[in-house]
Amino acid sequence: MGSDSSKLQNKSTNGTPVLDIKVVGKRRLSGTPPDQTTPPTIKVGASVSFNEGFLTPKKKLSPDRLEVGRSRSGSSCSERQGSFKNKNQHPIQTRNRQLIQSCFQNPHEAIGRKIAKRTAEKRSEFAKFYIALSKEQSDDFEEQIKVLLKKSVANIDFLDEVQRLAEEFGEKYVQYRTIGFKADFFAALADATITECAFLDNAVHPAHQTLSAFSQFITMVFSSVRDGFYNEMRRLRRTSNSFSTGSNSSCRRKKLSSSPADSQYDGFTRAASPGADSRLSDDCFTPSYGEDDGFLKPPVNSMLAARIC
């Protein structure tokens, strides 16, 4: 079996060698000796994809203009946009935010008192502070906690507003330092707040999901509360330092303004006071009653008689 493209016949029936006949394409070559081989054919690509990169002229690069790969710059730009997006991304997931808002739709009017009592049970130092408060102060204390949570939950999608509310809440706690409040109490308050807020769910969602949502939210809120507390403390210190510095400078100004007159008066008194050497000069002006001043007296009669003689 053979095709039209190639046929090879080595021997005849009589045993005499026969010339080989090869057909390449439509062209038939005859008379080729058996020991001579045909050179290999070189294929020349006719398609564009085969000649791509070989037949197209290369671009000349000018020394003043350098080509920069656009794929890398595009990827870096996308990375920058992604990082900026992640920076502005809310730290709490959307489903957890919805869970928190749904919990606060349940009655929670006494949540401030519950948080304060739970904190007092967990920490004895806070209990002493809480007992030292008057009835009006304790009511105000509990109301501030409730208002902070309600406003923060209502603005949970706006991080700047939540941060502002928490910092203002922390600034108000500086007034309780005179009664015994410490910045360490914020951690105990945060733990009690997470527990009491989780009870508002009434076991509608899984417990681990509710605790995770409120842990993220309350931690974020009370970190800003602590920042507001310390910022107010620094502001009061700066104010007191500037007041003390101003009073000291005014006292110094008064002393400096009064010192020239005093020095002038002191100089005047020192100039009028007699010195050690002034005694000799003053003796001539002071009358001496013990000395013999006979040469000033009129002559005695005996002295006149003696002179006449």
Domains of the chain (ranges, CATH numbers) = 94-243 (1.10.490.10)
For the segment 155-172, the average pLDDT, to the nearest whole number, is: 94
Would you tell me how many other CB atoms lie within 10 Å of the CB of residue 29? Answer: 11
Please give the Cα distance from 211 to 225 (Å, whole number).
Answer: 20
> Going by C-beta distance under 8 Å and a sequence separation of 6 or more, which residues neighbour residue 67?
61
Pick the more confident residue, 54 or 192.
192
Tokens of 269: 């008194």
- The string of pLDDT tens digits covering residues 144-157 is 999 999 999 999 99
* Statement: residue 163 has pLDDT above 70: yes
Give me 131's structure tokens: 């007992």
Query: What average pLDDT does range 49-71 have in this prediction?
Result: 51
Q: Is the per-residue pLDDT at 128 higher than 50? A: yes
> Has residue 1 got a pLDDT over 90?
no
Q: 125 CB contacts (<8 Å, ≥6 apart)?
A: 180, 182, 185
- pLDDT at residue 95, as a whole number: 92
The shares of helix, strand and coil residues in the chain, as percent rounded to the nearest 5, are 60, 5, 35
Under 8 Å between Cβ of 253 and 198: no
Token look-up 């999901």 returns: 209
Q: Residue 90: its pLDDT value, please?
A: 83
- Give one DSSP letter per residue of 269-280, joined into a string: HHHHS--STHHH
When pLDDT is averaged across residues 42-68 and rounded to a whole number, the result is 51
If DSSP codes are grouped into helix, strand and coil, which group holds residue 21?
Answer: strand
pLDDT at 86: 52
Name the β-bridge partners of 29: 22
Q: How confident is the model at residue 301 (pLDDT cuts 50, 70, 90)?
A: low
Please return the burial class of 186, using the count of CB atoms within 10 Å of its CB with bins 0-12, 13-18 and 19+: middle
**Which of 52-56, 102-106, 212-216 has the least mean pLDDT?**
52-56
Structure tokens at 209: 């999901």
Q: Is the pLDDT of residue 166 over 50?
A: yes
% of the chain beyond a pLDDT of 90: 42
| Other Cβ atoms within 10 Å of 154 Cβ, number | 14
User: What is the pLDDT, as a whole number, of residue 34?
Assistant: 53
Is the model more confident about 143 or about 275? 143
Q: What does the pLDDT average to over 27-31?
A: 49
Q: What is the DSSP letter of 173?
A: G
Of 187, 171, 177, 148, residue with least CA distance to 229: 171
User: Whole-model pTM?
Assistant: 0.53
> Is 90 exceeded by the pLDDT of residue 170?
yes
- What do you get for the CA distance between the two ends of the chain, in Å? 205
